[in-house]
Amino acid sequence: MKTYEDLAGDGGSNIIEQVEALGEKLRSRLDRIKYKVALMSGKGGVGKSSLTANVAACLVDKGHSVGILDADLNGPSICHLLGVKNSQKLTIDDRGVQPGAGVHGIKLMSMDMLLSNPDSPVMWTEEADATAVWVSTMESTALRELVADTDWGDLDFLLIDMPPGSDRIDNIRSLIPELAGVVEITIPSLLSQHIVSKSIAKNNKMKVPIIGLIENMAGYTCPHCEKEGPLFEGEDVESLAEQKNIPYLGKIPFDTRIGRKTDSGSLYYIDNKDSVTGKAINLAVENILKSIK
């Protein structure tokens, strides 16, 4: 009886040919983007998305072309921050799906752009008995399509706003093996540092390059007098970076205006470059640039 290897082809399903074609498509997108950087934290609520948007604004201010991939499939927020409304029609042409045009020329792709209503949840089926396997596999596929089917064009930077937790980095790493690295973000609280240290350990084990650690919400800056005060009790984040042997990229004081939605047509950084928080963002971005170039 013949064996698998004796039978030519793949049985007529043409799966191999198609998987290879999908891989080439993904590669053709990625080859036009110089640096791919993921911003992540094991912990939720540390200000990843607001910081990602403002890091993008800072890079644009330095003359770079920037896109943001909102990899937080179930809690997307980048559209909101960059002023792209859900009512905006999705443009699909021969080149793929056109990215959203965010403020300051930042391109973006997010699940929010694909949903019919602003309050629509991300659900892969209306059936109540959808299995966890189905949801998990669909999320991996969705991420691939968001990267590969978006017409990013030529970019200097693609920032990837990761969801809370460290599980999604597996997907990103397999999609984008040439990832310049991840920027880990924590707030000073011990709880956050405890969880982020696990995320750093995982990335080290997986040999995902870590650009460094940002200490976000590091104290409170009064928008009126710019005096600083503590916001969280916690140990020095710089010592966590030292302990994990990764660069400390800087501390960014909390400013109530940083996460505001951009109805004004501008992100916090652009309007407040000279504030204490604005300068801190700039310093962190300078450190990121030094690390990856």
Partner 1 sequence: MKFLCIPCDEKMETQVDGIMPEEKKNLAMKFKCKKCGHSIAMLTNKFETEFVSKLGVQMGGTAAEATEAPMGVMAGSLAEGKDELKKGAPTEEDIEWTEEAKQRIQKVPFFVRNMAKKTVLSFAKDKGITVIDAKLMDEVREKVGM
Residues at the interface with partner 1 (CB under 8 A)? 1-2, 4, 7-15, 17-22, 25, 89-92, 96-97, 113-117, 120-127, 131, 133-134, 137-138, 140-142, 144-146, 149
Q: Which two tokens stand for residue 94?
A: 């021969």
Please state the closest distance from residue 28 (CB atom) to partner 1, in A: 10
* Closest-CA residue to 113 (of 95, 87, 139): 87
Those residues whose C-beta lies under 8 Å from the C-beta of residue 164, and which sit 6 or more positions away, are 41, 42, 43, 44, 45, 48, 72, 75
C-beta of 5 vs 274, nearer to partner 1: 5
C-beta of 8 vs 225, nearer to partner 1: 8
C-beta of 25 vs 34, nearer to partner 1: 25
Please state the closest distance from residue 60 (CB atom) to partner 1, in A: 26
Those residues whose C-beta lies under 8 Å from the C-beta of residue 293, and which sit 6 or more positions away, are none
C-beta of 7 vs 225, nearer to partner 1: 7
Please state the closest distance from residue 78 (CB atom) to partner 1, in A: 17
C-beta of 124 vs 220, nearer to partner 1: 124
Query: CA dist 51 to 57, 69, 292, Å?
Result: 10, 14, 18
* Closest-CA residue to 73 (of 159, 136, 157, 148): 136
Please state the closest distance from residue 164 (CB atom) to partner 1, in A: 22
Q: For helices 237-244 and 190-205, give the axis angle rounded to 10 degrees.
A: 20
Please state the closest distance from residue 144 (CB atom) to partner 1, in A: 7
Cβ contact 225:217 at 8 Å: no
